[in-house]
Every structure is written in C-alpha cells, then in structure tokens.
Chain A
Amino acid sequence: MSVSTASRPTAAASAPLDLRRSSLPLRRRLVDNFSKVLMMLALLIAVIPLGLVVYYVIRKGGGVLDGDFLTSDIPRSARRLGGGMAPAIVGTLLTTGTAAAMAIPLGVLGAIYLNEYGKQRPLARLVRTMADVMTGVPSIVMGLFILVIWVLNVKEKSAFAGALALACLMLPVIIRSTEEMLRLVPDELRQASAALGARRWKTTVSVVLPAAISGIVSGVMLAIARAAGETAPLIVVMGITFEVNWSLSGQNTALPAQIFNNATEPYPGAELRAWGAALTLMVIVLLFTVVARLISSRFAIKER
C-alpha cells in the first residue's frame, strides 16, 4: 500500500520544484532519464520473448490444431505427417486430475495445521521452511524419486506414477498459498464461531475454509496449471503410448512429454505435432491461470 501512494508525493513535490529541475546539472538529469529508459528496456527484454513464444505457438500450432488433431492417435513413426494428440491430452488430464485429487486435500489440511494449530511452534516453522524448500526441488528430482520408490517396486511405468510425481510438486505450492489465504481470515470469525459453541474442527470447516475458499481455489488452480506443464518427471515415470489409455495403470503419455519427444525429432511432421501439442497445452494452462486470476480478483477477501 505504501507503494501505491509513492508516486503521488513525487508529483506533488516536483510541481513547485519544477523550476529547479531544469536548473539541475545536466549529468544528473541525464542519469535520471537514462535510468528510466533502462527500466523500460528491462520490461521490454522480458516481454519480447513472451510475445515471440506466444506468436510462434499460435502461428505454427494454429495451422495444425483442428478436431482431427485433438481426436486422433499419435503416429507410431515420428516420420509420418499428420496424426493427433488425443492420447497425450487424455494423459495430461488424467495425471493432472489424479495429482490434484491427491495433493489438494493433503495440501489444504497441511495449511490448516500450519495456520490454525501450529502457528509459530517449532514444528510448524520447520514444516513451513521445508515446504518452501520443497517448492524449489527440481521436477526431475521428483521424477527420479517416484521412479525409485514406486516404479522400480511395482515394475510398471504408469499414469499413476506420473500423478504421484505431480502431486509431490503441487503439494508445497498448495500448502503455502492456502496458508496465506487462511491467514487473511479475520480472527473475529473464529471467535464468533467458538462463542456459538462450535468445536475447533467445526469452526475450521464451516467458517474459516468457506471464508477463504476463493483464494484457496485460485491458488490450487495455479498449482494445477504449473503441474500440467511439467515435463521431466513424466518422461521418467510414464513411459509411452500411441493410443488413448484412460487407465491409471499401464504406460501412458502426456502433452509436455510429446512436445519434448517430437521437438528432438528432425522430421517436419514431428515438428508440426510438437507445435500443435504446445498450443493445446498453452490453452489448457492459460485457461487455468486466467480462471484462477478471475476468481482471486472477483472474490478475494479484502486484506485488513
């Protein structure tokens, strides 16, 4: 909040100082303007690649993406032109959905522990720090972890293994974002509920969670969007399939894995499929991101 007002006093102060501004030494004025140019340049440097990526994905992917692309199987030979991404789309929805089903309850409960029970106790602080650290664990490491602990024991690569890896990646993100949201719920609500004789769990489930639900949902959707784009763990633990596999067991594939595989093939058909898959993935990810933003801006609890 202090930022939003920061520019106003400047403008107000510079009005009477305007005469003095022109009397400032040239070097100081130049340096000041130069710094402004640099800041805008920095923004431009970040935005140009974004624009280029979006442009290429839409231009190249748009030419490939049609009903056929979304519903046909992946060709067995990367050389072949045409074909579709249906198995990968199914795989992405299946793994991300299963991962969300595992990570959301665990993450929300963990956040409730941190904010409602643990607070500043040593254990809660440890969990909080470790959740932060876990956010930074590279996705490939999570893939190796699930491979070692699940795939090598069950002796089968599967969508479920992929979902486990994605759930591990989502868990800390959900915990931390949910905790932030729970912290915004005013204490008066909890006290009022307690005064009406509600038990602590009842208070949490029927008062605190509903009050924070929009923020929690938007955090969860951002986590899902991030998980849907994860590639490395899926390549390690999911295997490959060319036909739609709706089952959690048996080898499967996903959009990011297909983009990766096709991008490394030198054939034009594979290249086109990679762009098409990239556009499909971007649409899915952006859909989740935009909906999350809408929810959080529409229904956010006003910070006090």
Chain B
Amino acid sequence: MTVVDKTATLTRKDPGRHADRLFWALCVSAGLAVLVILGLILASMLQQALPALTKEFFTSSTWVPNDPDEAGPLHPQYGSLTFLYGTVIVSVIALLVAVPVSIGIALFLTELAPRRVRGSVVLLIDLLAAVPSVVFGLWGILVAAPALVPVYEWLHDTLGGIPVVGSLFGETVTSGRNFMTAGLIVAIMIIPIITSISREVFATVPNSDKQAAYALGATRWEMIKGAVLPHSFGGVVGAVILGLGRAMGETIAVALVIGSAVQITPNLFQSGYALPAVIVNLFGEASGDLRASLIGMGVVLFLLTVAVNLLARVVVRRAEIRMKGAGA
C-alpha cells in the first residue's frame, strides 16, 4: 500500500480534505454534547440548589414551605424525606406488579405465541408505550381512582385485621388518589420497557439449551424454568432496574393520582406525595428557598436515576457478555 502516493494525489485534486476534518469535528462535538449536557445539568442545578441542601433537607420529614409567621416556631422548613418515601413506595408497588406481568408477556412472546399472534402483541405493547403519561394520569384521576375505591375498601375489610400486614391496608381515602393507585398506574407505564428488554434477553437463550431440556422430557414450563430463566437472569435483573429508573422519574401521572398529601404512612390506601410530583405541583409559585429546595429535589432525583441507570447498564452488559460466551 502506497499511502504517501494516495494522499499526495488526493490532496492536490480534492479540496475535500478540510471538509473531512470539519465533518469529523462536527460529529465529535455532537457526541460530546451528551456529556456536556449531563455535566451542565449537574453543575447548574447543584449551584442553584446549594443553599437548600442542608442536613435538614436530607434527614427531616417536616415540610412547611410557606409559614405566615417567618420567625415563629414553625419557620419554613424543607425536609424532603416525605417525598422520597412516596417515591420509594410507588416504585416498589409498580415493580411488584409490573415485573411478573412483564416477564409473563415476554415469555408468552418468545416461548408460547404463534408467529402471527406475536406481531400483533408486540404492536399492542408498543402502543402501550406510546400513550403519553399525562393521558394515563387523566384516566387514572377521573376513571381508575374512583373505580378502585370499592376494591380498596374490600381489601381493607378482608386484610386490614391481620397484624403488621394489615397496616398496609388501612382506611381508604375517598377520592381513591393514593399510593396504590399511583403505583398501579406507574406499573402500566413501565410494563412495556421491562417487557421489551426481557424479550430480547429471552431471545438470546441458545436453542440447543431449550432442546436439551425437551429431550430430557421437560414440559414447556420445566424447560422455561430450567433453561430460559437461569440463562437470562442477569439480563432480566437489568431490565427490572431500568424499569425502576423509569418508575422513580415518572412525574405527571403520579402527580395526578397520588393525592398530594404530605405524610408518611404505611397505609397504601392513603394519599401521599412523591419527589417529581411535588416539583411539578409547587414550581409555579416558587421562589427563593422553596425554589432552591425543589431544585435540590431535582438534583436528588437526577443522581438517583443516573445511578440506577448506570447500574442497569452494567448488569445488562455483563449478562450480555456471559450469554454471548454461552451461546458460542
């Protein structure tokens, strides 16, 4: 290869050598934009939130944003624990509902469904992902929440008497806007993402493993239990973590159906609050310390979701490497 010759002729005839460098620079800077934006998010928001990020912010659950008497015993206090608690509860409910359902659908798609059915089911799940979260929220607040109240009351009557567990199923708030409704709505919204990733993971299970299980006389379920699930465990865990990230950040639907009550209670049928919901609800009239503390919650949310997403990527990637090794 005569590299020198080639460049020599090209440089003489082709003024495009500068274009090449320019294009490269354009592309690199576009790629770097991602890093810049993420860095800017953290830096700019931290800078605005710094005055609010006190010890009290992270350890107190007292939230008194506008106290008429500034110097009184109830001076404005911005403890964020209540909202963190709500976010955790809603995410846990959402995962408990969404994970088995998503894995079930993914198994149905990869192991059970005939090819013709598969296409339309995938389309349905895609549609589920396409519905904007505010539409789910609207449906949740106007239709689902009131409709679920009798169910909650029945659950309270049947399960409320059991010690410890019963405290989860306490009195129902009459509007039906509570942790449970929020969790269920979020569950619907994270089903598509967990399903699609689990499906990809299940699809990587080597055919030979499955056939080996069948050859040993396994039924379909025994094959799934013995060949598919162990092989794809890591990937599914990654999918679940990704779903968790989405659940924590879900804002509008939760803001609509969680009931907006600043309280920490084990009762899942009571109204509560969540981090993203409080930001979007209170931001309109916010200034000064309140705004700083809301942005501070944004920072907390950002760091939480980034951590969760990074963890998910690591888990999925590690599982991918292992699966490729096993498949080859």
Contacts and interface: CB of A to CB of B under 8 A. Distances in A.
A23 B300 CA distance: 59
Q: How large is the interface on A (under 10, 10 to 19, 20 to 34, 35 or more residues)?
A: 35 or more
Contacts of A230: 132
B125 A46 contact: yes
Interface stretch (A69-77, A200-208, A241-249): A200-208
Interface stretch (B75-83, B153-161, B244-252): B244-252
Contacts of A94: none
Interface string B29-58: 111111101101100110110000000000
Contact of B35 (A42, A126, A228): A126
Given A10-B220, A199-B20, A263-B141, A140 B276 contact: yes
B12 interface: no
Nearest to B276: A140
Contact of B37 (A7, A134, A281): A134
Contacts of A110: 27, 30-31, 33-34
A7 to B, nearest CB: 7
A283 to B, nearest CB: 11
Given A47-B124, A229-B134, A263-B142, A6 B30 contact: no
Interface string B220-249: 111010000000000000000010011011
B295 A144 contact: yes
A197 to B, nearest CB: 7
Main secondary structure of the interface of B (DSSP, over half): helix
A210 B278 CA distance: 46
A90 interface: no
Contacts of A63: none
Nearest to A278: B135
Nearest to B108: A39
Interface in A81-125: 105-110, 112-114, 116-118, 123-124
Interface of B: 10, 14, 16-17, 19-20, 22-24, 26-35, 37-38, 40-41, 44-45, 47-48, 100-105, 107-108, 110-112, 114-115, 121, 123-128, 130-139, 141-144, 188, 191, 195, 202-207, 210-211, 214-215, 217, 219-222, 224, 242, 245-246, 248-252, 255-256, 276, 279-280, 283-284, 294-295, 298, 301-302, 305-306, 308-310, 312-313
Interface of A: 2-7, 9-10, 13, 17, 20, 24, 28-29, 31-32, 34-36, 38-43, 45-47, 49-50, 52-54, 56-57, 105-110, 112-114, 116-118, 123-124, 126-127, 129-145, 147-149, 152, 168, 171-172, 175, 197, 199-202, 204-205, 225-226, 228-232, 235-236, 256, 259-260, 263-264, 271, 274-275, 278, 281-282, 285-286, 289, 293
Given A2-B203, A113-B31, 5 more contacts: A32-B222, A138-B251, A199-B20, A282-B135, A293-B123
3 closest cross-chain pairs (CB), A and B: A229-B132, A42-B104, A138-B249
